[in-house]
């Protein structure tokens, strides 16, 4: 089964979203966002637990907020079945990475106290905190 989360972790693409897309391309692929912060730099859009940021009309930041719970992301972007409770705990997520042959390493610059951050070969960052899986994000240079 092709899993959108696996593709994001391996390639940096989340469903129909890819870094560098224009706002118009994102709306065409995903519909209008639930909210926008257009007078903020960068321009921030939200689709449930998904946050997108644009600089100079280009998508450069894609983040899924978990905060220890399964996220709410529109199914047009990530099918609901792609998220399951086992990924919310560190050991379960490591198993998920191994089962799907996702390369990763500990990101020392964001690992401290009770927070652990991992980075995949596609530069996707996975952050675990006190409540388990916190965020999964990709940020490219704007």
| Number of domains into which the chain is organized | 1
Nearest Cα to Cα of residue 126 among 46, 41, 10, 45: 10
Lowest mean pLDDT among 29-33, 75-79, 95-99: 75-79
pLDDT in tens, 92-132: 999 999 999 999 999 999 999 999 999 999 999 999 998 89
Domain hosting residue 38, numbered range: 4-139
Provide mean pLDDT across the span 27-44: 86
Residue 34 has pLDDT above 90, yes or no: yes
- Residue 86: per-residue pLDDT: 81
With a threshold of 0.85, does the pTM exceed it? yes
Nearest Cα to Cα of residue 68 among 138, 134, 1: 134
Q: What is the DSSP string of 14-75?
A: BTTB-TT--HHHHHHHH-S-SEEETTSSSEEEEETTEEEEEETTEEEEEEEE-TTS-----T
pLDDT tier at 38 (50, 70, 90 boundaries)? Answer: low
| Mean pLDDT across the chain | 90
Residues 6+ apart with CB under 8 A from 21: 29, 58, 59
């Amino acid at each position: 089964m092709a899993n959108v989360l696996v593709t994001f972790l391996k390639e940096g693409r989340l469903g129909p979203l890819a870094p560098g897309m224009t706002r118009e391309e994102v709306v065409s692929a995903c519909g209008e966002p639930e909210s926008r912060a257009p007078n903020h730099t960068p321009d921030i859009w939200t689709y449930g637990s998904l946050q997108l940021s644009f600089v100079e009309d280009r998508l450069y930041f894609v983040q899924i907020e978990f905060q220890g719970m399964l996220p709410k992301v529109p199914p047009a972007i990530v099918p609901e079945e792609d998220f399951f409770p086992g990924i919310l705990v560190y050991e379960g997520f490591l198993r998920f990475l191994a089962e799907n042959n996702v390369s990763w390493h500990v990101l020392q610059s964001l690992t401290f106290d009770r927070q652990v951050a991992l980075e995949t070969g596609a530069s996707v960052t996975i952050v675990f905190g006190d409540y388990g899986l916190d965020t999964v994000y990709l940020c490219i240079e704007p």
